[in-house]
A and B are shown apart, each in its own frame.
Chain A
Amino acid sequence: MSTLLEVSGVSVSFDGFKAINNLSFQIGQAELRAIIGPNGAGKTTFMDIITGKTRPNEGRVLWGEKSQSLLKMSEAAIARAGVGRKFQRPTVFEDQTVHDNLLMAIKNDRSPFSVLFFKPKFRDLGRVEELAAEIGLSDQLHRKSGELSHGQKQWLEIGMLLAQEPRLLLVDEPAAGMTLSEREHTTDILVEAAKTRAVVVVEHDMEFVRRLNCKVTVLHEGSVLAEGSLDHVTQNKDVIDVYLGR
């Protein structure tokens, strides 16, 4: 399996505090990966580095078959290259309808002029319907997304991510604030998505991670502490000491 994203020797510090310390990580073309770690382990900073929000002090972030460096690219260019990100708190455009939210996310030319003259084609509208069905919002398409429940907003955001057709999906605590059945649905969507692309899930909830049934990376103080199956890492003595043992 070839590598999609390779992060090597990355460090970043804020005012002397090392948020990420010599971290290395790689993920394949179609792989599901969970990242766990205590608060302050650097999970969010790690995502910020990949998506271009934070520039690391040192290290390399290489992307795709051509091993292109992501460090020189803007956030928008990285997103267009195929990195999609879901934030911890659901961020959808509340003033706009579910339909408009999805249409905005669907993969198309993103330059101002082509967007100005954009007319949704049959294919785009079909894709909106399809995605809405997948995230269970088919009958909510013309409601303003601000009126949706918390869980529905989370799904809408996942739907928008899928609409972008990213090759790598970064998902920050997708199950936060969801009911049990909503969690199961979310797990299904993520497992399904990981069949065709790389998915990285940051999660606190062990039960949720167990249900994902995938390789787990444990972060601690900005670097990788252990990596392997969930059972493997939960038996690791270091992991028990710093994380589970608390």
Chain B
Amino acid sequence: MKNSFILRNPSVLIFLGVLALFTLGVTFMSEATGAGLISTSFVKTLGKTLCLCLIAIAMDLVWGYCGILSLGHFAFFGLGGYMIGMWLMYERTRQIVTLSMANAEIPPTDQEVVDAIGSQIFGVVGSSDFPPIWSFADSLPIQLALVLIVPGMLALIFGWLAFRSRVTGVYLSILTQAMTLALSLYLFQNDSGLRGNNGLSGLQNLPGTDAIPQSLISIWFFWASALALGLGFLLASWVVSGKFGSVIRGIRDDEQRVRFLGYSVEGYKLFIFVMTAMIAGIAGALYYPQAGIINPAEVAPIASIYLAVWVAIGGRGRLYGAVIGAAFVSLVSTWFTGGQAPDVPLGFYVVKWVDWWQVLLGLSFVLVTLFAPKGIGGLFDLFEGIRSPRRHGAALGPDQGSLQEKEAQE
């Protein structure tokens, strides 16, 4: 198969190999399945990081390849988390309630059980009735489907309205910010039905796994996240490798020209927007059980801006760049904000990284955008350029004076 997908895209194989090695390494160093060199909480951090890498792939598809600077993809991420969180919270509360009621003299009716679950879950917001959006919370398959459907539908409606009116560029970015802000403000209300600013909590406890230690559960989620990231990378590379990739990169570079070729630009944008929203939903559904809690602050506008920063620092327009950016920046950020980074005493002032990290991040974003627009991923070009300037002996231009291959560096 000279023309097979893997051969045409060697980076896919390399990426999957590195991911597999990383997964194995973490597995053999974890507390549950290995030597116990890394703590359960760090396994969770790594698992969460993989989910962030997955949403970074989605961001790279929509921004790096299709040119839509969406600053609202964390809304879809959060919605995915809420959808799975509803089932986790309902099912676990149901088990606790059933257990505590089992000793009652009169066996509880189904309605009594549901009421007891309701007052357990919604007690904090002064209510005990299930709002309509919890109708399917007792069914895992339906809530799993909603992880895809809810972000997908929101993206479909929002995208249809925005793209149809030909809103582009910075105006679209502002609209997406408004969308995620509106969602977050709505979720903050107690009567939104999702416990207001308390959010959903206790998500790290899988129902029916009380006997299984968190160290093992964290490894399961780590594997699931790694699998999702691998599949997401495969899907995204397949999407961008063929003619579809050509068309969306065309839309990024010259939308009007694509339109005059007969492609419905709006349809393509909508397709990629909805698809990436669903990927973001899956990433969120894997992230929040590892985080243990989700609240409306997670979908605040700043989260989506961070996402764009990760992709920019990693190198937009290449999928592994987005992954590297998300992993690198979010891990470094954990290190700096976790109080582990040593303070820098300047004599007259002590730089505390917890406070200064944001400044450093902002500064590096500006510097990368100005001086290294290819981001961290651009470093791979440097290595590759030294190895093989793939110009097949041709000069850089047709004229006599143009740069020749010997002079050229890719």
Task: Judge whether B401 is part of the interface by a CB distance below 8 angstroms.
Answer: no
List B residues 255-278 near A (Cβ within 8 Å).
256-257, 259-265, 267-268, 271
Task: Judge whether B246 is part of the interface by a CB distance below 8 angstroms.
Answer: yes
Question: A94, B259: Cβ atoms under 8 Å?
Answer: no
Interface of A with B (CB < 8 Å)? 51, 53, 74-77, 79-80, 84-85, 87, 91, 93-96, 100, 103-105, 110-112, 115-116, 118-120, 142-143, 147-149, 152, 160, 164
Question: A96, B246: Cβ atoms under 8 Å?
Answer: yes
A96 to B265, CA, bound (A): 18
Question: B267, A96: Cβ atoms under 8 Å?
Answer: no
Question: B394, A96: Cβ atoms under 8 Å?
Answer: no
Question: B264, A116: Cβ atoms under 8 Å?
Answer: no
Query: Which of B242, B260, B394 has the largest number of chain A CB atoms within 10 A?
Result: B260
Question: B250, A142: Cβ atoms under 8 Å?
Answer: no
A111 to B247, CA, bound (A): 11
Question: B244, A93: Cβ atoms under 8 Å?
Answer: no
Task: Judge whether B345 is part of the interface by a CB distance below 8 angstroms.
Answer: no
A152 to B397, CA, bound (A): 11
Across the two chains, which residue of chain B brings its CB closest to A105? B261
Q: Which of A87, A93, A148, A152 contacts B253 (CB 8 A)?
A: A93
A115 cross-chain contacts in B, Cβ below 8 A: 242-244, 247, 263
Question: B398, A152: Cβ atoms under 8 Å?
Answer: yes
List B residues 345-394 near A (Cβ within 8 Å).
392, 394
9 shortest interchain CB distances as A-B pairs = A79-B262, A80-B262, A76-B264, A112-B271, A75-B259, A116-B244, A118-B243, A91-B257, A104-B246
A164 to B263, CA, bound (A): 11
Smallest beta-carbon distance B123→chain A, Å: 47
Contact A103/B262 with A112-B268, A149-B397 known, Cβ cut-off 8 Å: no
Smallest beta-carbon distance B77→chain A, Å: 24
| CB pairs A–B below 8 angstroms (6 shown) | A53-B256, A111-B267, A112-B271, A116-B244, A119-B242, A148-B398
A91 to B394, CA, bound (A): 23
Task: Judge whether B112 is part of the interface by a CB distance below 8 angstroms.
Answer: no
Query: Which of B243, B256, B263, B271 has the largest number of chain A CB atoms within 10 A?
Result: B243
B246 cross-chain contacts in A, Cβ below 8 A: 93, 96, 100, 103-104
A120 to B257, CA, bound (A): 22
A240 to B253, CA, bound (A): 42
B253 cross-chain contacts in A, Cβ below 8 A: 93-95
Apart from A79-B259, A87-B257: 20 A-B pairs, beta carbons within 8 A: A53-B256, A76-B264, A76-B265, A79-B262, A93-B253, A95-B253, A96-B246, A100-B246, A103-B246, A104-B243, A104-B246, A104-B250, A105-B261, A110-B262, A112-B264, A115-B244, A115-B263, A119-B242, A149-B397, A149-B398
Interface size on B, residues (CB 8 A): 28
- The binding surface of chain B is classed by DSSP as helix
Contact A93/B264 with A118-B244, A147-B397, A149-B399 known, Cβ cut-off 8 Å: no
Smallest beta-carbon distance B323→chain A, Å: 21
Question: A91, B263: Cβ atoms under 8 Å?
Answer: no
B259 cross-chain contacts in A, Cβ below 8 A: 74-76, 79
Question: A164, B262: Cβ atoms under 8 Å?
Answer: yes
A116 cross-chain contacts in B, Cβ below 8 A: 239, 242, 244
A149 cross-chain contacts in B, Cβ below 8 A: 397-399
Mark B96-121 against chain A: 1 for CB-CB distance below 8 A, else 0: 00000000000000000000000000
A118 to B242, CA, bound (A): 7
Question: B249, A95: Cβ atoms under 8 Å?
Answer: yes
Task: Judge whether B341 is part of the interface by a CB distance below 8 angstroms.
Answer: no
A147 to B391, CA, bound (A): 11
A53 to B166, CA, bound (A): 13
Smallest beta-carbon distance B56→chain A, Å: 21
Question: B243, A85: Cβ atoms under 8 Å?
Answer: no
A79 to B260, CA, bound (A): 6
A112 to B397, CA, bound (A): 35
Question: A96, B249: Cβ atoms under 8 Å?
Answer: yes
A142 to B393, CA, bound (A): 12
Query: Which of B247, B271, B394 has the largest number of chain A CB atoms within 10 A?
Result: B247
Task: Judge whether B254 is part of the interface by a CB distance below 8 angstroms.
Answer: yes
Task: Judge whether B396 is part of the interface by a CB distance below 8 angstroms.
Answer: yes
A74 to B166, CA, bound (A): 12
B262 cross-chain contacts in A, Cβ below 8 A: 76-77, 79-80, 110, 164
B392 cross-chain contacts in A, Cβ below 8 A: 142
B239 cross-chain contacts in A, Cβ below 8 A: 116
Question: B260, A85: Cβ atoms under 8 Å?
Answer: yes
List B residues 192-241 near A (Cβ within 8 Å).
239
